[in-house]
Amino acid sequence: MSIAIFFHPDCLQHDTGLGHPESAARLSVILDGLKNCGFSQELDFIPATLGTRTQVLLAHTPEHYDHIAQSIPAEGDYTYLDPDTIMSHGSFQAALRAVGASCEAIDKVVTGKYDSAFCAIRPPGHHATSNRAMGFCLFNNVAIAARHAIQMHKLERVAIVDLDVHHGIGTEEIFKRDARVLYISTHEWPHYPGTGSAAEKGVGNIVNIPLSAATDGTEYRTVFSENVMSTLRNFQPQLILVSAGFDAHRDDPLASIKLVEDDYRWIGTQLRSVANEYCGGKTISFLEGGYNLRALAASAVSYVSAFAETEQT
């Protein structure tokens, strides 16, 4: 079965300014890599719909939505929501496309049209809390998707696995009292945003796995096998969502974990195996971080290849 790749050109119109690490080039190199990979015949590229206020409010307060909507600058100008989180004239439209892609991916995968999907979207989302934009993120795409799956498709157990090297403070905040959602995060610690200690457990549904700087692929695979996989199997998810950050790569400029491209393929293979075991393979991944363009493109393609029937060439 083909893999759905959700994307819209509007996501390239989120302009963060010269020198900002979260640039439109990130998305361009991923799309180029996927279109030219050895399993491209298995990919269906689907233009994202425009998300709605109602969908955003699944995970955010009305005040947060209104603040973002009212912060759109004039063409050529920028609005700084914090020192790192920037809006251009096209950012709100891009953020709504990311939300639309996330919810449509849920609809397509949960109803069985696809087993898996990858949302090639920006701005990223996992740092956005229910009432605050931060860490390059405006709306929390994976959180909105999880709530959409629960409310629209009546799922009772949704797992979120966060691979980004930075802890998903927003995703944890949104779900820390919602036992229907299991949140597992592997991340460098201590590191931005300063949250994600193992002591943060929510109502038993939050599993933070802090990693020391310079953790390599061998160490990571051991931790993932012994902690992430066993936790997922105990939860028996009906759907697995992945905050697919690729900034734990050894060449990424914003962190110090030492993964390589093949580690991301291995992670994808592990997630696919547990998804096949418990939820008919239903897995949706959402682009988060990754700021070395070469490493990002190679890692994303390697990761997506794990969900393909054809071996990557």
Query: Known catalytic residues?
Result: 127
CB 254 within 8 A of CB 173: no
Phi and psi angles of residue 45, each rounded to the nearest 5 degrees, phi first: -90, 120
Secondary structure class of 187 (helix, strand, coil) = strand
CB 97 within 8 A of CB 50: yes
The set of residues, in sequence order, having a beta carbon less than 8 Å from that of 145 and lying 6+ positions away, is 102, 103, 105, 106, 241, 284, 286
CA 92 to chain centre: 18
The set of residues, in sequence order, having a beta carbon less than 8 Å from that of 83 and lying 6+ positions away, is none
Dist CA 158 CA 48 (whole Å): 22
Place of tokens 């299991």: 182
DSSP β-bridge partners for residue 7: 47
Geometric angle at alpha carbon 294, from 293 and 300, rounded to 5°: 85
DSSP β-bridge partners for residue 159: 182, 240
- Token output for 218: 């061998």
Dist CA 44 CA 304 (whole Å): 13
